[in-house]
Homo-oligomer: A and B are copies of this chain.
Amino acid sequence: MTDPNAHPLAVIVRKLGQRTQLDQAETDVLIALPYRAASINTGDHLIREGDRADGCIALLSGFAYLSKIAGDGSRQILGIHLQGDLIGLQAALLHRADHSIQAMTPARVAYIPHQAIIAAAHAHPAIATALWRESFVDTSVASEWLLNVGQRDARRRIAHLLCEIALRQEATGACQPPDYVWPLTQEQVGDATGLTSVHVNRTLQALRADSLIQLSRQRLTITDWPRLRAAGDFSPAYLHLPALPHPVPQRLSA
């Protein structure tokens, strides 16, 4: 008997299990899903906008981001995915990817054929529920991003993004607060927040000067969580995280 936790897809099952109760049979079905594993370099495309994708992607390790290009060539980053996320499921039902997915760091991924996922979902209501729920969480995060970009100023937008990525990393258990991995270039932060990299640079400097964060070379340290959260108007409810590794206050009644 091999340890099921050593199985490549175990990361995915663990993630789904955080939000949806899965019994042994369902876990087994998920682990038994057919897949093709691959190692990906920074910047490589996992899915290209307009592609007719026939599989979704389980992100086994590393970071990836979704993006879309406007007519004038400017790019909007639509979301960021961490280890354990299942990406590109919508293409299973919409037939055409309407955004690109790229690796933000070197990454390990597993391609899973759509039909296998769909079949598992139809056979096990709990699996359908789990997948459906994850996609609603993605929508909820996208909504918060829209609010972020549409209504907040540069400082708040960036502080908010810092909080989100840090907290989601904590949820994966892959980091030791207050230290986090920060894989985004300043240009990517700009594309995620609707700002230019120049302005991102100046704003990050202001956050450093105010002793809210330290940030250099892919490493982020949040030196003052409460003030950063306030600066970013951040309240984590929209992430629908399961019990957090350590308590996080809800909304600050500003």
Q: Give CA–CA (A237, B144) in the complex, Å.
A: 23
Asked if B194 and A149 make an inter-chain contact with CB atoms under 8 angstroms apart, the answer reads yes
Q: Which chain B residues border A93 with CB–CB below 8 Å?
A: 129, 132-133, 136
Instruction: Classify the secondary structure of A's interface with B.
Output: helix
Q: Give CA–CA (A120, B151) in the complex, Å.
A: 39
Asked if A70 and B136 make an inter-chain contact with CB atoms under 8 angstroms apart, the answer reads no
Chain A interface residue count, CB cutoff 8 Å, equals: 49
Smallest beta-carbon distance A197→chain B, Å: 14
Q: Which chain B residues border A142 with CB–CB below 8 Å?
A: 139, 142-143, 146
Contact residues of A between 183 and 239, Cβ < 8 Å to B:
191, 193-194, 233, 237-238
Stretch at the interface among A21-29, A73-81, A163-171, A174-182: A73-81
Q: Which chain B residues border A1 with CB–CB below 8 Å?
A: none
Asked if B146 and A146 make an inter-chain contact with CB atoms under 8 angstroms apart, the answer reads yes
Q: Is A122 an interface residue (CB 8 A)?
A: yes
Q: What are 19 sample pairs from A and B whose C-beta atoms fall under 8 A apart?
A: A68-B147, A70-B147, A70-B152, A71-B254, A72-B254, A76-B147, A78-B143, A78-B147, A90-B139, A90-B140, A93-B132, A94-B133, A94-B136, A96-B237, A98-B237, A121-B128, A122-B125, A132-B135, A135-B139
